[in-house]
Structures are given as structure tokens and as C-alpha cells.
Amino acid sequence: MELVFLGTGAGLPTKERNVTSCVLNLMAERNTLWLFDCGEGTQHQFLQTRLKINKIDKIFITHLHGDHLFGLPGLLGSRSFRNEAGELTVYGPKGIKQFLEVVLKVSESYIPYPLNVVEIEEGVIFEDEQFIVTTALLNHRVASYGYRIVEKDKLGHLDVDLLTTMDIPSGPHLKYLKEGQIVTLEDGRVINGKDLLKSPDKGKVVAIFGDTKPTPSSIMLANNADIMVHEATVEGSLTEGAEKYGHSSTTQTATIAKQANVKKLIITHISARYELIDNGRLVDECRAIFANTEMAVDFAVFKV
């Protein structure tokens, strides 16, 4: 599992940063990609990576401001030219369905694959045997949501020493024992695979936020996460101005990470007033409060 940042700027694109978009690469886990926000030009950013838009099966929109949304119709349309593109679900705040219906109708865009649009509310919005996605309302000028993605714990590995001690031979039955199933051996013994497994492998937790000023929801959503992705639009000295427009500063974001006890903070959604040369001092402001902080730049990849 890894995070790939396709756009890390706030408001408008610059020569160094495109507007917001981030991929949760789940190719190893489930042969798919999950996209979080889709600012203008996101499909162009995909072309600079090895990621394929036909592998996206879920898109999560945090809020309906253009720098997080305007790339979505183009990406959906381009995906139509990929014969192998399968079903796609778009999650977003109330209004996302109307937006897509109007723009796709007016532009006469042809979408041959099944397209589901889910207008979210707080709580669990997706769950299967591998993952659960929960959302909570943040504090911005429009309805803006954060997403908590939890990978469910995986069965532990077979205890090889225990297999030897119990004189369990090799064979096709090992596959079922690894899955924790009950197996009858050729000698008549009935073995419960769960008794042979080591402790479960703890699943990863990622919290990805839309635009917001500090709110208790952020701390709740990111609690004990392996990675928190949060905006840090401006430096600490501009905190008052950031809050006026529903945003967070570097120092505020770092404080949230500390309060939420996350393992790593990745800051993004950087104001166009800053160039890449400013990255160091913005990160240093965060690290003074929360040491394990990194800044996302376009095409940065972080292992989860």
C-alpha cells in the first residue's frame, strides 16, 4: 500500500504544483486504485506515472470546491476510451450527483462502464472483507469531509515450528490451513488452521482530509493512524487568515497530528504563494511540534 500525490497545491495550479489529488495505491492488496480528490489536470498527472486510470474503482471527493473537483469529468470521460475499465463508484458530498449529471449530459459524454455516485453522510460509507472507510464532517466554508481508511487485520502466517512439532506434512492442505480453515489430514486428524497461525498482521490506517480549519472531528478521524494527510495551506504566522477562509496552518496541522497520536503526518494543499524553495521552512514549523512530518510534492510516493 502506498500514497501517490498527483497534485499538492491549494486553489490554483502553479508551475511546481498541480491542484489537489492523491492516489491510494492498492494494486498489491486488491489490484485497484482509490483516488482522493480530482483537481483540474489530474488525468494529465496520471500520464507522468505508471498508474492507469482504468484501475481506479473508487473516487472519494472531499468537497465541491473546484480545485478538488474540476478534473473529475475529464477523467471519467477519458476512462471511457479504456475497454478494460470496469465499474466505478464516486463518493462525495451532497451535490456531487447533480454536478456530474449536468456536466456529462451537457457535454454529451458517453460513459460505457457502470458509474455509481454516492452522496455521503458521516459514518461508514464502504466496507468489505478487506477495508472499511469512515467519513466525518470537517469545518470549512462548504461541506468538507475527511476519510479514514482502515485495512482490516490479516490472518497471521502459519507457525512453521508448530507444523513440525505436530508432524503435519506438506501438501495442498497447507493452503487451507493458512486461511484458518479446518482440514482433515490423511491420517484422520482434524486440524483447525486458526490454531496454527501466529498473531494477526495489523492492518494499516490512513486518514485523508479535505480542506478544514482545526476541528475535533480531525482528531477523532485520525486517531492512531499510520499516516495522516492534512492540509497546511500557510505558515504559522498566517494562522488567523487561514482560519478566516476555513483552512489550517502548519502549526495547527502539526498540533492535530500530535493530539491524534498518528505515526506520520504528510502535509499538502500548499498555497500558491510558496515555491518549492520554501518547503524546508514549512516542514520545520511542523516538525517543531510533530517530528515525523513530511511534505508532499507532486509525484511523491509514501509507503504506508
Q: In what order do the strands lie in the sheet with 131-137?
A: 123-127, 131-137, 145-151, 205-209, 227-231, 264-268, 293-295
pLDDT value of residue 76: 97
DSSP-derived 3-state class of residue 177? helix
Interval 262-276 mean pLDDT = 97
* CB-based contacts of 208, cutoff 8 Å, min separation 6: 22, 24, 36, 60, 62, 146, 147, 149, 229
CATH at residue 134: 3.60.15.10
91 and 127 both lie in a single domain:
yes
List C-alpha distances in Å: 28 to 33, 173, 175: 10, 25, 19
Kindly report, residue by residue over 236-258, the tens digit of the pLDDT: 999 999 999 999 999 999 999 99
How many independent structural domains does the chain possess? 2
Question: Residue 111 is part of which domain span?
Answer: 2-154+201-303
45 and 173 both lie in a single domain:
no
DSSP state at residue 197: B
**On the CB side of 124, how many CA atoms lie within 13 Å of its CA?**
6
190 and 251 both lie in a single domain:
no
69 and 168 both lie in a single domain:
no
144 and 179 both lie in a single domain:
no
Q: How many CB atoms lie within 10 A of CB 40?
A: 21
pLDDT value of residue 304: 96
- Specify the pTM: 0.90
150 and 167 both lie in a single domain:
no
* CB-based contacts of 170, cutoff 8 Å, min separation 6: none
186 and 43 both lie in a single domain:
no
Lowest mean pLDDT among 37-51, 94-108, 140-154, 179-193: 179-193
9 and 54 both lie in a single domain:
yes
Instruction: Give CA–CA dist 81/126, Å, rounded.
Output: 27
Kindly report, residue by residue over 134-162, the tens digit of the pLDDT: 999 999 999 999 999 999 998 788 888 88
| 67 is annotated as an active-site residue | yes
DSSP-derived 3-state class of residue 74? helix
172 and 140 both lie in a single domain:
no
Interval 177-190 mean pLDDT = 89
Kindly report, residue by residue over 4-31, the tens digit of the pLDDT: 999 999 999 999 999 999 999 999 999 9
Interval 97-123 mean pLDDT = 96
Residue with cell 500530535: 258
Name the pLDDT band for 195 (thresholds 50, 70, 90): confident
- For the cut 90, the answer to whether the pLDDT of residue 83 exceeds it is no
60 and 178 both lie in a single domain:
no
pLDDT value of residue 198: 84
State the first-to-last Cα distance of the chain, in angstroms, to the nearest integer: 6
**On the CB side of 49, how many CA atoms lie within 13 Å of its CA?**
21
pLDDT value of residue 264: 98
Q: Which of 57, 67, 211, 298 is catalytic?
A: 67
CB-based contact 113:81 (threshold 8 Å): no
- For the cut 80, the answer to whether the pLDDT of residue 32 exceeds it is yes
List C-alpha distances in Å: 134 to 138, 148, 161, 223, 228: 13, 5, 39, 12, 14
Interval 189-213 mean pLDDT = 91
More confident residue, 193 or 216: 216
pLDDT value of residue 99: 98
Interval 266-271 mean pLDDT = 98
